[in-house]
Amino acid sequence: MVIRSQAPLRLSFAGGGTDVEPYPQERGGVVLSATIDKYAYATLVPRNNGLIRVESLDYDIVAKYDVDRRLPYDGELDLVKAVVHTLGCGQGLELFLHTDAPPGSGLGSSSAMVVALIGAFARWLGRSMSGYEVARLAYHIERVELGVPGGWQDQFAATFGGFNFIEFLGDDVVVNPLRVPSATLNELHYRLLLCYTGRTRLSGHILDRQIAGYREKRPEVVAALDEIKAIAIAMKNALLQGRFTDFGRLLHAEWEQKKRLAPGISDPDIDALYDVARRAGAIGGKLLGAGGGGYLVFLCPFERKHRVAQALEEAGAQVVPFNFDLRGLQTWEVEEEPDAH
């Protein structure tokens, strides 16, 4: 038996940062996001040899661990170890892991991988889990068990998939799936442009500075987060009403507020790419994730998108084709085939 699982990566259009504690506990946060056809994949093959073998294409690592030994968190495959520790592993197994975007890309790939792993383990162990249970467990593994800084949105986006307006109200998380007309989805996809800046980043330090700024109640940080929340609500309304120019302008406004949250979110190279896109005709855009690198997304007039793409490629960025994913976490079983070699 082979168990496979995939969880989609996401584009966070607005609200990022308002899902990072303690802001949602104290003031309530909201996020508008959509998942795309880039995935984190986990394949689980049960074995009876008392070993856990993990192969990660993203980190170019092959590691083996004894089932009976407590796996230390030492920076090597800690996400996998935390899932094994949390859900249990009574026998040997093989794991094969990879994602369609590099770690640190700003698309929520680490959280998507945790969600994919939980899906595979739950199927193997015969545990029935709701979407909310999967997402909350993924949050617990990353943020509590491992202490990785970050918010709530990535785990819920990867689990539920599609276009969601997610509310964070104290200890409650409410996922509101948006009924976006198909014509609106097609037009939004036609006008959006996703590009890779050429480098990844470690978001933890940026998030630490953002969290510190909010805990210290620095007026510019609190005001920026409040404005980002208001922009997310306005952007959700613009999307549902098919107001694409407003959507693009709000993307730009969100990016301007996001840069106020902490040093390091942007830098001269990212600013230069952003200016290239704007000069070529993009209405607005933003850097995805916590900042410092990864992917930029832009909303363009339909007749200018090709010029924006050309300008970004000439400036050294890589335009990445994508489509929307509306399904979320998917897990299935196949029969193990004899080794062809």
Q: Which residues are catalytic?
A: 154
Q: How many helices (H) and strands (E) does the chain have?
A: 11, 13
CA distances from 262 to 79, 102, 207, 208, 255 (A): 26, 23, 8, 9, 12
* Nearest-angstrom CA–CA distance, 275 and 265: 16
Using CA atoms, how far apart are residues 335 and 277, in angstroms rounded to an integer? 48
d(CA 289, CA 266): 11
**295 contacts: CB under 8 Å, gap ≥ 6:** 101, 105, 106, 107, 194, 195, 196, 197, 287, 288, 289, 320
Cα(88)–Cα(251) distance, rounded to whole angstroms? 42
Q: Are 284 and 252 in contact (CB under 8 A)?
A: yes
Q: Report the chain's C-alpha Rg in angstroms.
A: 20
First to last CA, the chain: 19
Task: Output b/e per residue, 154-188; b: 16+ Cβ within 10 A.
Answer: bbbbbbbbbbbbbbbeeeebebeeeebeeebbeeb
* Strand stretches in 110-158, DSSP E: none
